[in-house]
Structure 1
Amino acid sequence: MVFWIFGYGSLIWSPGFEYDEKIVGFIKDYRRVFDIACIDHRGTPEHPARTCTLEPNEGAICWGTAYCVRGGPEKERAAMEYLERRECEYDQKTLIDFYAEEDTLKPALTGVIVFTSTPDKESNKYYLGPAPVDEMARQIATAFGPCGNSRDYLFSLEKAMFDIGHKDDYVIELANEVRKVLGVMGTGVTKEKKLVGPPHISVLQLRPHPEAIATDS
């Protein structure tokens, strides 16, 4: 057995589980949004942080990383149990096609698992829904929890996207808005965090794996 997990948030820079292969690529018809509450990692029930989920959007693409887990049922079970604990805000596992850069028309992997959330405030207690960018920025700038500040999650995601060579304009816009809020608050933002974006980074050349069975998170 082999399964693949797709990461589009913190899994990009901190997977936290044992994996056997990692490739950079994208999924189609989804976009990254900050519409989910985080109340036990970088926020609290009283002051929830905002974390990212995926929103169906025809024609959109979302870049991230796919992780392969091989080695038998025990290893696979351990990885999935870890992911389900970590991704507790996400109430759905969706199977998607994963594309590598060498062939943007034919999936490199099929059946990849990705954790997503039901966009319904009544059935999903973690769903916050969309909000104006300045309102989200104020929430992210001030929220914190046992694992750290909400803003550090956003800044880490921004850097991770640069590192894989595929910046996300929405993430950059939100991160820069958070920096404005922090500036008004007088919270001392470092020079590193003030960057709007590094110069172009060459993209990894990847080989498709049509024979693989896929899953993601």
Structure 2
Amino acid sequence: MVMWVFGYGSLVWKPGFDYDEKVVGYIKGYKRVFDLACIDHRGTPEFPARTCTLEAQEGAICWGTAFCVRGGPEKEKMALEYLEKRECEYDIKTYVDFYQEADCTSPLLSGVLVFTSTPCKVSNKYFLGPAPLEEMASQIAKAVGPCGNNRDYLFQLEKALNEIGHEDDEIIELANEVRKILGRIDVPSLTKMESATPARCTTFLPPSQFLTDRPQVSKESNGTDHITAPQVTLN
């Protein structure tokens, strides 16, 4: 058996599971939107991040990458278990047709798995719904979680879509609005906010971000203490 999975958000640049083939293409009838809350990776329950989900829309298309998992039931099971844990905010598994640019009438693949979410704030606690551009950008600019900050998620997606040759104008507009807001945010206060977040996803934090050396204390000629801070390099 063969399993195909369509990625339209972070899966495009960081699938995280063992796959055998990937194909750039699109699905029909869906639009990518930043309407889903993330409270355990890029945000917190107190200050959720905004991440991608799909909104059904007639005539819309959504570009991304389809990943193929071959090798038998056990390999498929491992990939699916990983995806279900990672995509825990997505409560719907949908199977769609997948197209390539060369042929927009006949799908290249059918039965491709894609994770989506119920667009209802009552039945889906992770659904934030739409918001004005500046409000969404402000939330994305400030949200941070144990696995990184929200803005990097957006910027990585913008870059990944550019690299596959299919930029999303709304993603570019949102990313540019976030950059404008970041230019107005006081950097020390932002750094303080990030450092206050518990680092539960330690695998995402480079070792160079941890302070391992103690400050050196020496006496000046006038008898006062002189403190030399260790050198810290942030990647």
How far 1:187 moved relative to its partner? 3.9
Residue by residue over 1:19-49, the C-alpha shift from the partner in whole angstroms, topping out at 9 and shown as x without a partner, is: 0110000001100000000000000000000
Structure 2 residue 3 is the aligned partner of structure 1 residue 13:
no
* Correspondence for 1:51: 51
Over the matched positions of the two proteins, sequence identity in percent amounts to 73
Mapped to 1, the partners of 2:98 and 2:124 lie a distance apart of 26
Mapped to 2, the partners of 1:100 and 1:158 lie a distance apart of 20
Letter in 2 for 1:72: G
How far 1:184 moved relative to its partner? 1.0
Mapped to 2, the partners of 1:177 and 1:100 lie a distance apart of 31
Letter in 2 for 1:170: E
- Structure 2: unaligned runs, 5 residues or longer: 189-235
Mapped to 2, the partners of 1:70 and 1:101 lie a distance apart of 24
How far 1:186 moved relative to its partner? 4.2
* Correspondence for 2:89: 89
* Correspondence for 2:198: none
Superposed counterparts of 1:83-162, under 5 Å: 83-162=83-162
**What SS does the corresponding residue of 2:183 show, helix, strand or coil?**
helix
How far 1:9 moved relative to its partner? 0.2
**What SS does the corresponding residue of 2:156 show, helix, strand or coil?**
helix
Higher RCO (CA 8 Å, separation ≥ 6 residues): 1
* Correspondence for 1:31: 31
Mapped to 1, the partners of 2:30 and 2:76 lie a distance apart of 26
Structure with greater Cα Rg = 2
How far 1:52 moved relative to its partner? 0.5
* Correspondence for 1:63: 63
Letter in 2 for 1:28: K
For the aligned residue pairs, the C-alpha RMSD in angstroms reads 0.9
How many residues of Structure 1 are paired with residues of Structure 2 in the alignment? 188
Mapped to 2, the partners of 1:156 and 1:45 lie a distance apart of 23
TM-score, normalized by length of structure 2?
Answer: 0.79
Letter in 1 for 2:74: E
Q: Which contiguous aligned blocks of 4+ residues in structure 1 show a shift greater than 4 angstroms?
A: none
- Structure 1: unaligned runs, 5 residues or longer: 189-217
Mapped to 2, the partners of 1:102 and 1:122 lie a distance apart of 41
